[in-house]
Amino acid sequence: MLWLWLAWIVYWVVCALSVKSTRRRESPGSRMSHVVPLLSGAALILWPRVPWQWLSQRLLPAGLLQVALGLVLLAVGLAFTVWARVYLGRNWSGMVTVKEGHELIRSGPYAYVRHPIYTGLLVALLGSAVACGELRALIGLGMVAGAFIRKLRVEERFMRELFPQQYQRYCAEVPALIPFTGAPRSVPR
């Protein structure tokens, strides 16, 4: 399972080198506020052994079905992120993934989900957590989901400010697969 993640990371780094440099930049503090919990959560899920025994308690019974389900979810999630990345080509932005030349994308992966790369990564990490079946994987998945939700709220706010009417229509047509990424209830859409 780890080799799938390593292959994906190599692919992602190579693709990231070809991204246009005109993308919106985020501050180092903003980046660290979601990168640190994301990497910590992913390490809890993917690390083979942790030194704290209580984190290694099994939540799912070990078996071939559990591992197979985890591998399927992992493969589907990573394939979705690769498809989204290939579809976006050089117009992908590392900060806001729903733009191309500062115009909303409404086709390809964005016809199905507003944040396809993050959704695919979350599904892939869910697959790894299911395959692991331990308490640490559940905690790590919660940390990753929290990091993604924080990052996506920033992106959603940015897109609502940049494209108010178009993004409102887009959100109504294409619901997010990741929960809690919409505008807070007190903010009018």
Q: Other C-beta atoms within 10 Å of 158: how many?
A: 17
* pLDDT for 19: 61
Q: What is the mean pLDDT of residues 168-178?
A: 80
pLDDT at 147 over 60: yes
Whole-angstrom Cα distance, residue 101 to residue 86? 16
Whole-angstrom Cα distance, residue 87 to residue 83? 6
Which residue, 15, 175, 178, is CA-closest to 92? 15
- pLDDT tier for residue 92 given thresholds of 50, 70 and 90: low
Whole-angstrom Cα distance, residue 178 to residue 80? 14
* pLDDT for 72: 94
* pLDDT for 137: 86
Q: What is the mean pLDDT of residues 6-12?
A: 82
Whole-angstrom Cα distance, residue 155 to residue 184? 13
**Tokens 């990424």 -> residue:** 181
Phi, psi of 50 (to 5 degrees): -115, 150
- pLDDT tier for residue 45 given thresholds of 50, 70 and 90: confident
- SS3 call for 26: coil
* pLDDT for 107: 79
pLDDT at 130 over 80: yes
- Max mean pLDDT among 19-28, 59-68, 96-105 falls in 59-68
> How much is the pTM?
0.79
* pLDDT for 185: 42
- SS3 call for 100: strand
pLDDT digits (tens, 9 = 90+) for 114-129: 888 888 988 999 998 8
* pLDDT for 133: 85
* pLDDT for 94: 47
Give yes or no for a contact between 124 and 181, defined as CB atoms under 8 angstroms apart. no
